[in-house]
Amino acid sequence: MNKTSFTSDKNKLTVIRTFDAAIDLVWRAWTEPELLDLWWAPKPWKSVTKSMDFKENGQRLYAMVGPEGEEHKCITTYKTISRHHHFTGEDAFADQEWGINEDFPVAQFQNQFEDESDHTVVTIVSEYASEEHLQQVVEMGMKEGLSMAFDNLDEYIKQQFNLRSELKVDNKPRVTTYLNFPGNTEEAFTFYKSVFRTEFSGKGIQRFGDIPAEAGHPPVADTIKKMVLHVELPILGGHVLMATDAPKEMGFTLNQGNNMHICLEPDTREETQRLFDELSKDGNITMPLQDMFFGAFFGECSDKYGINWMFNYQIR
């Protein structure tokens, strides 16, 4: 895991982070609301975008929502945009009516993206009205929050798909069922294992605590170490059940209906696109099909009959 560095100079804060992904994927992760909401908040907080118009003079209105339902509203106003190079703007806290909350510091920022072939360097320079204003946001935990936002969910997603790539070593098409549980995946899959009398694939149950410790990577919280990161169980006729824990402690809200997807893994990118287009027609696209920063051509939708579909073409 790459380390996030911070440098202060009077009223300016410079943040530098390297991402092990191509610049197009990293740019999307910063500029598309569906992806921003996956990683922008440190868990157990979550980012919820109300609206986002990523263009010059456009705005993103969003809230940082805590585990008890508390929220801090925020506004990002975009000033200049140069695709795959930089965007600049203003970050501010908002009041209840989505106006700028003058009780908190406002940042003028520039986010710069540098293409380093197989990885991307992002440099953020934030300037405040005074040194006191910068110190105020630092004391509010801005450095820790950014570090966790960069690290935690990215690592969670990458590890899941790395494990899936290890278990599926080629792009032969298959259909699986992907399940999410609020923290009792192991109990459920132990039950399914006894019913179908089969064994878990690969290394068996992989846990969040199994993530290798790396320099610059924060330790996994004790409360989630034993939770299931990924597990696969063959059932009948070669069909595979997959699952992960997605508990409230990590900002997830599961209900019957959004906790289960039919997962399609076609053998080509073109077939992935065709299936997505036809199944999402007259339905609801919950995540547009696109190259993701965790190494897959991925998307999600529910069809016109309310059935949830997940699409994953692993980029190799």
CATH number at residue 170: 3.10.180.10
Say yes or no: 242 and 113 in one domain.
no
Q: Which of 141, 173, 207 is the last residue of a domain?
A: 141
Do the domain assignments include residue 295?
yes
Q: Are residues 176 and 119 in the same domain?
A: no
In this prediction, residue 94 carries a pLDDT of: 96
Amino acid letter for position 94: A
Phi and psi at 108, nearest 5°, equal: -100, 120
Q: Into how many domains does the chain fold?
A: 2
Q: Are residues 128 and 40 in the same domain?
A: yes
Give Cβ neighbours of residue 2 (< 8 Å, ≥ 6 apart).
Answer: 17, 18, 19, 20, 216
| CATH number of the domain to which 24 belongs | 3.30.530.20
Nearest C-alpha neighbor of 249 from the set 215, 218, 226, 216 = 226
User: Could you tell me which residues come within 8 angstroms of residue 248 by beta carbon, excluding any fewer than 6 positions away?
Assistant: 44, 67, 182
Burial 145-173 (b: 16+ CB within 10 A, else e): bbbbbbbbbbbbbbbbbebbeeebeeeee
**Token duo for residue 250:** 């990590």
Tell me: do 264 and 163 sit in the same domain: yes
Q: Compute the Cα dihedral for 101, 102, 108, 109 and give only its sign.
A: negative
In 3D space, the residue among 19, 21, 17, 18 whose CA is nearest the CA of residue 6 turns out to be 17
Q: Are residues 170 and 70 in the same domain?
A: no
Same domain, yes or no: 81 and 176: no
Smallest Cα–Cα separation from 52: which of 27, 77, 81? 77
End-of-domain residue from the set 141, 171, 201? 141
Same domain, 93 and 68: yes
Same domain for 250 and 170, yes or no, is yes
Q: Considering 141, 161, 189, which residue would you say is the last residue of a domain?
A: 141
- pLDDT for 166 equals 62
Q: What is the DSSP letter of 54?
A: -
Query: For residue 69, is it left (φ>0), alpha (ψ between -120 and 50) or beta?
Result: left
Q: What distance in Å separates the CA atoms of residue 139 and residue 2, rounded to the nearest whole number?
A: 24
Contact at 8 Å (CB) between 104 and 91? no
Flag whether 68 is in a domain.
Answer: yes
Q: What is the Rg, in whole angstroms, of the alpha carbon atoms belonging to the chain?
A: 21
Q: Are residues 132 and 198 in the same domain?
A: no
161 & 289 share domain:
yes
Q: From the centroid of its chain, how far is CA 196?
A: 33
Q: Do the strands 260-265 and 174-181 form a parallel or antiparallel pair, or are they unpaired? A: antiparallel
pLDDT for position 101: 95
Write down the residue that tokens 């209105």 correspond to: 61
Q: Establish if 148 belongs to a structural domain.
A: no
Domain span at 28: 5-141
Which amino acid, 21?
A
C-alpha neighbours within 13 Å on the C-beta side of residue 127:
5
Per-residue pLDDT of the chain (316 residues; tens, 9 = 90+): 578 899 999 999 999 998 877 787 788 888 988 778 878 888 888 899 999 999 999 999 999 999 898 999 999 999 999 999 999 999 999 999 999 999 999 999 999 999 887 688 999 999 999 999 999 999 999 999 998 888 765 665 466 556 556 666 566 788 899 998 888 899 999 999 998 889 998 888 988 887 665 544 456 677 778 899 889 999 887 889 999 888 776 666 777 777 899 999 888 889 999 999 999 999 999 888 988 756 678 899 999 988 899 998 876 6
Q: Is the peptide bond before 44 cis (omega within 30 degrees of 0)?
A: yes
pLDDT of residue 120: 86
For 226, residues 6+ apart whose C-beta sits below 8 A from its C-beta are 207, 208, 209
Q: What residues does 18 pair with on adjacent strands? A: 121
What is residue 216's predicted lDDT score, i.e. its pLDDT?
45
Distance CA 149, CA 45 (A): 10
One domain for residues 281 and 168? yes
Nearest residue to 92 via CA among 137, 48, 130, 122 = 137
- Specify if 206 maps to a domain: yes
User: Which segments of the chain are extended strands (E)?
Assistant: 5-9, 12-19, 46-52, 59-65, 71-82, 86-93, 107-115, 120-127, 174-181, 206-207, 228-234, 240-245, 260-265, 284-291, 296-302, 308-314
Same domain, 167 and 110: no
In this structure, what DSSP letter does residue 121 have? E
